[in-house]
Amino acid sequence: MPLRSMTGFGTAAQTTTEGTRVSVEIRTVNHRHREVRVRPPKGYADLGPLLEGRAAASTGRGRFDVSLAVDAAVSGEKSRISPERVAKAWAELQALRDALAPGDPLPFVAVLQVPGLFAADVGDREDTELCGAAERAFDGAMADLDAMRMREGINLVRDLRERLALLTKLHSDLAQRTAALATEHFDRLRGRIAKLLEGTGVAVPSDRIVQEAALLADRGDVAEELTRFASHLQQFDQALANDKEPQGKRLDFLLQEFAREVNTTASKAQDSTVAHVVVAMKVEIERLREQVQNLE
């Protein structure tokens, strides 16, 4: 399976043999872990745990907001008056009238304007067919969501590969620049000493210069950092090509290692050109990080 984005939207609906329409919408955004929130409509709370359990078996990293709707109008359900609710509402209206306007007439028809007095006559909410329709609608919405996430994932991987290629080129530039630093240190040190000894008749101590230049080169040696960075680049490329399992966390870890190696290189090399290349690399690493945050 190609790498998928954690951002997407999917929707689907199913209708029972009695005409009840069950629709599901799933919206996802990036998240470090998996978080599923199911919002069933009023009166169908039992469908929440049902879909939460189904989501646990079919979702990966990311935050999933699942909205469920049951269309009573399609099913032909009939409404019935709830005597208990009417009696309670009538008592509360009378108490409110007595407290605010004692003696004023209170027509009984006023109670009909209180919301929530009617209950839908739908029978058992845990009806097997209704639950089955909800599960099928959820599966359809997940399929729709996955298709969108895979399309977005393909675009993300394409962008990541382009940025990885640029980062690889910057790594090559960095390697070339640091390879020339030892020779530059030697020439710079020799020039300074020659200037100091100018007119004294004292010969420039080449052996001593070589020793000092070697010390400078050793302190500024970044070969290990560059080698590790090259290994991280290779691993990053391999992760992008992995179609067996999600790679978002692995890629995020590799980016942390990228940043660690370039920071160490900049502090050890002490060279303006190296510093400029490192800044460009940091910019690309941050851009990679922003994109990787959206990968599952």
Distance (Å, whole) CA 264 – CA 283: 16
Is residue 126's pLDDT more than 80? no
Is residue 40's pLDDT more than 90? no
Name the band, by pLDDT with cuts 50, 70 and 90, for residue 245. confident
Q: Please tell me the predicted confidence (pLDDT) of residue 199.
A: 65
Question: 117, 89 in Cβ contact below 8 A?
Answer: yes
Distance (Å, whole) CA 213 – CA 132: 77
Domain range annotation of the chain = 8-76+125-150, 78-121, 152-292
Which residues are CB-neighbours of 111 under 8 A, at least 6 positions away?
86, 89, 90, 93, 117
Place of tokens 């190696």: 261
Is residue 129's pLDDT more than 70? yes
Is residue 288's pLDDT more than 90? yes
Q: Please tell me the predicted confidence (pLDDT) of residue 188.
A: 65
Fold of 8-76+125-150: Ribosomal Protein S5; domain 2 (3.30.230)
> How far from chain centre, in Å, is Cα 257?
19
Distance (Å, whole) CA 274 – CA 177: 7
List C-alpha distances in Å: 137 to 2, 60, 74.
24, 19, 16
Q: Please tell me the predicted confidence (pLDDT) of residue 220.
A: 54
Q: Please tell me the predicted confidence (pLDDT) of residue 9.
A: 94
Token digits of residue 43: 């009166």
Average pLDDT over every residue of 142-165: 93
- Reported residue count of the chain is 296
Token digits of residue 94: 């009378």
Q: Please tell me the predicted confidence (pLDDT) of residue 76.
A: 47
Q: Please tell me the predicted confidence (pLDDT) of residue 203.
A: 63
- Better-scored residue on pLDDT, 258 or 97: 258
Average pLDDT over every residue of 184-200: 64
Distance (Å, whole) CA 180 – CA 137: 64
